[in-house]
Amino acid sequence: MRPYLYSLAFLVIALLLSLAIGSVFLPLQDIFASIQGNGSDLANNILWNIRLPRTVLVALTGMALGGSGAAYQGLFRNPLADPFLIGISSGAGLGAVIAMSIDWTYSSLGLIAIPLAAFISALLTVAVVYFLARVGQTTPVTNLILAGVAVSAFATSLMSFLMLRF
């Protein structure tokens, strides 16, 4: 129980520091005054419009990454499992390289084009790996890992080819 309390204390300290430290330092009393509605206009603007949204987004992103990592490790029953294991990272990289190769960033999507292509490509990679690993009605973990390594190698080679070609 004690390690969880230490972790929670460090989390609270890190969140408070992320609210306080920036190009303009906000003392803790200014932060608490702004939360209570008694802060200065500058402190309110910095806290509510810049730092608090970023801090909340960072906390949510960390929770999502932690949850996805735990799901990954549970799926493979391996505490060392990561996105490189079944080719998700290579597939996402391939999608980003394809988007850059065809100058998709100059389309109507703008800067969101590369992350969108990477995300779609990562999802397609998962589908391909799952399809290749499936045996009848089951998907053995060993087949999933082997298919993932093969798809990862293929995606990495395509990525290298596109980067050399374009």
Q: What pLDDT is attached to residue 63? A: 95
> In this model, does residue 7 exceed pLDDT 80?
yes
> In this model, does residue 76 exceed pLDDT 90?
no
Average pLDDT, the chain: 92
Least confident stretch, 75-79, 105-109, 126-130? 105-109
Q: What is the pLDDT of residues 106-120, one digit of tens each?
A: 778 888 999 999 999
18-23 long-range Cβ contacts below 8 angstroms, 24+ apart = 18/51, 18/54, 18/55, 18/58, 19/47, 19/51, 19/52, 19/55, 22/46, 22/50, 22/51
- Is pTM, for the whole model, over 0.85? no
Q: What pLDDT is attached to residue 104? A: 78
Tell me the average pLDDT across 1-25: 93
When pLDDT is cut at 50, 70 and 90, the band that residue 121 belongs to is very high
When pLDDT is cut at 50, 70 and 90, the band that residue 1 belongs to is confident
